Amino acid sequence: MISGDGSAPALAAYRPAASSCLLTHLPNGLRIAVESLPDVRSAAVGIWVCSGSRQETSGLEGAAHLWEHMAFKGTTRRSALDIAMALDRLGGLSNAFTGREETCFHARVVDTGVAEAFDILADLVLHPLLDARELKLEKDVVRQEIAAVDETPEEYAFETFWKSLWADPALAHPILGTVASVNGLSRAKLLEWRQRWHAPERLIVAACGAVDANALVAAAERAFGGLPSGPAAAPAPAAPRFRPRALAEERDSEQCHVFLAFPAPGLTDPRRYAVSCLATLLGGQLSSRLFQEVREKRGLAYSISASPHFLSDCGVLEIYAAAQPDRTDELLHVLRGELEAIAGCGGSAKAVTEDELDRAREHLTGLLYLGAESTEERMLRLARNVAVFGRQVELDEAAAALAAVTLDDVRAAARELARLDKAALCVVGPSVDPAWAETFGTSFERP
Known catalytic residues are: 68
Q: For the chain, how are helix, strand and coil distributed in percent, rounded to 5? A: 45, 20, 35
Quickly list DSSP for 324-377.
-HHHHHHHHHHHHHHHHHHTT-STT--PPPHHHHHHHHHHHHHHHHHHTT-HHH
Residues ≥6 apart with Cβ < 8 Å to 372: 16, 378, 395
Residues ≥6 apart with Cβ < 8 Å to 332: 258, 436, 439, 440
Which helix (H) or strand (E) segment holds residue 89: the answer is helix 80-89
Strands 31-36 and 203-209: parallel
Cβ–Cβ under 8 Å, residues 52 and 103: yes
Strands of 85-150 (E only): list them: 93-98, 103-110
Q: Which residue type occupies 429?
A: G
